[in-house]
A and B are shown apart, each in its own frame.
Chain A
């Protein structure tokens, strides 16, 4: 199903106020169809509240959210059957088995057929590796198993959009890898995936796009390369000819950021590439031409983590 809109999720000035406190303020999200969209931010930055607004669980104080071409929460009835979601951890009936829980939640979707329910539940459980535990009561599940069951619930019918809020929470490293490959698989099938996390490494590996939240506001958004700062970082040069190298680099328009203590005759120079026009290969050519002896030359890309910390602050404090 594809509608005219090119965006799977689009919000304009989305704001949610609780009392005096803006949990989400003026968020303008643009999630393209087919993207794996990482929704990043520290704890308490408004990620889950935004997701609740997108899914029609909460009403925005102001602004609007359009999901799969339908305004939320007004068009929930036609939008949500096409959306699978895991919101703020799994929620299940502890006294029912894993597969009975999925049966129960599937009956709430009037677009899902009863005839195929059994098969779909089994397929979803299989997809998250829970087939062996499907008859066990959920109260006997570990946190990681509940998390898997939550993801299975999001996959009960074919979805156009998956919203996964901290999907790897409580999972072991093996489970985290499985979720990553599952997301890749789903994206390859054409599903748009909106995945929130406070763990960057997870997101960086699977996303095509990302947005960064801080204290309720969207501070950055774009493709991963755009966010990393055009994919450029810095060069680190090891050379005994520090002075000569410095002058060559300066001539190329680069600012040599730091010249740490020369150990013996060896110096290490770091030059920032952001904003520079010269390619790394040209820098090496220029250095060699000028007779600089190069012992080591490394191009370091800005990691998303650096950007994340730049934008949200490095501290552990929960910002309000």
Chain B
């Protein structure tokens, strides 16, 4: 039979494991978690697989155009914008790649990352450990959202960079004729490409906020990802119905293809500003919904 020694209750004190300071008296600002979030995001094979797939889009288009270049153009000018320009100037491949990716491929990958934010941690069982660390619920949401935004930027830049590189490799490079008829040099045109990439990154911020909100509703990441992607498709379908033109200014996908204004001289910032405002509104609404849901949620995963 077991007997337990009567035990005197010792006074409690944290015993450091070493002589270095392990624990601070006041909390740090918390950048470490954000750094960790971004590093973990880019150490996942899935993230790289998506970036590689995105890079493949402009590369495949450029190759297809290059290989069929000798044929007289048979499709009579149909196909996405910039398709005709790229044989004259490889710099247009970046813009063409972004135009092709924005309706589906970019929302798809952003939907995966944004939908995974909270639900992915829940399904891995790491959410409870982050919360008892304690990460703080609002801080965790902010960090997760920034992670999704960083991915959006990386995805957009990947398409633009892959497009510019393959364009330079396969086609002549030279001064670019803008939509307004003026001509700009190669350096200026790279700046315009970066502007377009930032326009598209901003365009994806609303969708990221929607994905973050969906992710707080479930412990099944695939569900949140699918819902986010479906919403982006629905928004674009509605945007294409002329009967609903009163609704169009309120759809987060309304400005997704409006980056043509950045290819004029002087640049027309109107759609850039309106888009930023719209995405900001989506961020505030869905960020607030996500916080409202997550701050009081029982974490039972």
User: B-contacting residues of A (Cβ < 8 Å)?
Assistant: 1-2, 8, 32-35, 52, 55-59, 76-77, 80-83, 85, 87-96, 103-116, 119-120, 123, 153, 157-160, 188-192, 204-205, 207-208, 224-225, 300-301, 303
Alpha-carbon separation in the docked complex, A82 to B16 (Å): 12
| Contacts A52-B299, A57-B299, A192-B12 given; does A91 touch B32 at CB 8 Å | no
Alpha-carbon separation in the docked complex, A159 to B133 (Å): 12
Residues A91 and B128 in contact, CB atoms below 8 Å apart? yes
Alpha-carbon separation in the docked complex, A95 to B22 (Å): 27
Residues B4 and A112 in contact, CB atoms below 8 Å apart? no
Residues A32 and B9 in contact, CB atoms below 8 Å apart? yes
Residues B36 and A112 in contact, CB atoms below 8 Å apart? no
Contact of A35 among B2, B9, B125, B299 (CB under 8 A): B9
Alpha-carbon separation in the docked complex, A106 to B28 (Å): 12
Residues B24 and A113 in contact, CB atoms below 8 Å apart? yes
B75 on interface, CB distance cutoff 8 Å: no
| Contacts A190-B10, A190-B12 given; does A91 touch B125 at CB 8 Å | yes
Contact of B22 among A85, A89, A113 (CB under 8 A): A113
Most chain B CB atoms below 10 A, which of A52, A110, A116, A153? A110
Which residues on the B side are within 8 Å of A58 (C-beta)?
Answer: 298-300
Which residues on the A side are within 8 Å of B67 (C-beta)?
Answer: none
6 tightest Cβ-Cβ pairs between the two chains A and B = A91-B125, A108-B133, A110-B27, A158-B14, A108-B135, A107-B32
Sample of 13 further A-B pairs with CB below 8 A, known A85-B132, A92-B125, A303-B2? A2-B13, A32-B9, A34-B11, A59-B298, A80-B134, A87-B129, A91-B125, A91-B129, A112-B23, A116-B21, A123-B18, A158-B17, A160-B13
CB of A117, distance to nearest CB on chain B (Å): 8
Which residues on the A side are within 8 Å of B14 (C-beta)?
Answer: 1, 82, 157-160
Residues B299 and A33 in contact, CB atoms below 8 Å apart? no
| Contacts A104-B36, A208-B4 given; does A113 touch B21 at CB 8 Å | yes
Which residues on the A side are within 8 Å of B12 (C-beta)?
Answer: 1-2, 8, 33-34, 160, 190-192
List B residues 58-102 near A (Cβ within 8 Å): none
CB of B89, distance to nearest CB on chain A (Å): 41
CB of A204, distance to nearest CB on chain B (Å): 6
16 example contacts (A-B, Cβ-Cβ < 8 A) are as follows A33-B9, A35-B7, A88-B125, A89-B125, A93-B126, A108-B133, A108-B140, A109-B134, A110-B30, A116-B18, A157-B22, A158-B17, A158-B22, A160-B12, A225-B4, A301-B3
Q: In the complex, what residue of chain B is closest to A304 when comparing beta carbons?
A: B2
Alpha-carbon separation in the docked complex, A295 to B134 (Å): 63
Residues B33 and A108 in contact, CB atoms below 8 Å apart? yes
Q: In the complex, what residue of chain B is closest to A189 when comparing beta carbons?
A: B15
Which residues on the B side are within 8 Å of A108 (C-beta)?
Answer: 33, 36, 129-130, 133-135, 140
Residues B298 and A105 in contact, CB atoms below 8 Å apart? no
Alpha-carbon separation in the docked complex, A34 to B43 (Å): 41
Residues B134 and A91 in contact, CB atoms below 8 Å apart? no
Residues A301 and B1 in contact, CB atoms below 8 Å apart? yes
B296 on interface, CB distance cutoff 8 Å: yes
Alpha-carbon separation in the docked complex, A173 to B288 (Å): 49
Residues B21 and A96 in contact, CB atoms below 8 Å apart? no
